[in-house]
Amino acid sequence: MEQLTTVDAWRRYCADARARGAVVGLVPTMGALHAGHASLVDTAKRECDVVVVTIFVNPRQFNDPDDLRKYPRPLEDDLARCRELGVDAVVTPSMEEMWPAYPAATATTVTVAGVSEGLEGAGRPGHFDGVASVVAKLLIVTGPSRAYFGEKDFQQLAVVRQMVADLALDVTVVGCPIVREASGLALSSRNVRLDAAAHERALGFSRALAAVHDGVARTADDMRAVLRDVLEDAGIDVAYAEVVDPTTLRPLGAGDEGVARVLLAGFVDGVRLLDNGELRVIATKGATSVAGH
């Protein structure tokens, strides 16, 4: 496994792989790798000839300095995990390589209107500008490739897909299913910050998804109320509990029906966690279901 630390070496590595006829698979991460990341690598290995993992904690997507300071950075463990997974190259660029002007503002920022503006975008101003800017750089340096993202960060995935389409980047964006603990909690690098009691409260996210999977007929507004009640009963400080169109992320109203997405976010002991699941919503009373939560 090669460890690349500069943009130039990273660019050359991917260009050389394509020159040999290889399909490059990119797995962008901020480190603290877990089984969810491993599933992205496994999918990339099945579909590509060369798999590149990037590890970079991007400060531009943190609107809370304390959250950035506490974000886990177990680099040596991450490198060992990548070796075990059979990753071909790991990119660990310095801050100077990625954002030379940091902590000053970078002159160029990528903004994706629409899908970035509610939900996480509303609660974390500037977050998706930071995400879109760093992902654009990752994709541009890597070049033509397949890029793998987890569906747990569903709005992030929608932002990346929109950006790639709008900028006509030569990249295929692949969304991969959420990976969960046996308890039902969605895997996240932030889970390591939860003690046993907080972990138990965080299970309210999967219980909320199960509550709208129980076959009881509900409108979208009924579902929102049920989701919020379950989260609050679990002791979660709810940021949002929304039912949206899976492409535009527009909140669904009473007259909407069809495939939708439940998006959940909240704080457990100050740790912001996300979860989501697919469902079918109806405009009038009848059967409702959630799949793959």
By annotation, the residues acting in catalysis are 37
What is the rounded CA–CA span in Å between residue 241 and residue 73?
30
Residues 6+ apart with CB under 8 A from 242: 118, 119, 224, 251, 262, 263, 264
Query: Do residues 269 and 194 make contact, with C-beta atoms less than 8 angstroms apart?
Result: yes
Peptide bond into 103 cis (omega under 30): yes
Quote the tokens at residue 46: 């099945």
What are the Cα distances from residue 154, in Å, to 40, 68, 183, 292? 15, 21, 21, 14
Would you tell me how many other CB atoms lie within 10 Å of the CB of residue 54?
Answer: 24
Closest CA relative to residue 132, chosen from 114, 151, 152: 114
